[in-house]
Amino acid sequence: MFRLAWEHGVNGQAQVIKGMQQIIHSYTLLQDKEAMSEAVANVRWQIAAGIRDFQAMLDELGKLQTGLPRDAPAPDEPIHDDEPVHDD
């Protein structure tokens, strides 16, 4: 399961990097509106493909997490360190 999540993450990262490279390359197309339109469409598709891979990675990790004990809070969960300690 880790391998599948890792593969999705690597694929997502590669897709986003390709999209970013296309953005840099499209700077040379500023004078050609049709070519620029195609480049923007390709970048949007590339980034969306990367996001789909990242979502698949999150889904795989979520499946793995359901079978594990919850000792530590998730990064987006609030930690209540400011609550007073009662010595009863």
According to the model, what pLDDT value does residue 83 have?
57
Q: pLDDT by residue for the chain (88 residues), tens digit each?
A: 678 888 888 888 998 998 888 888 887 877 888 888 888 899 999 999 999 999 999 898 888 878 777 666 667 766 665 556 565 5
Give residue 44's pLDDT: 92
Which residues touch 61 (CB under 8 Å, ≥6 apart)? 5
What does pTM read for this prediction?
0.65
Q: Using only C-alpha atoms, what is the Rg of the chain?
A: 21
pLDDT at 80: 62
Which whole-number Å values give the CA distances from 61 to 9, 16, 84, in the listed order? 11, 20, 34
- In angstroms, the CA 10 to CA 16 distance is 10
- How many other CB atoms are there within 10 angstroms of residue 4's CB atom? 15
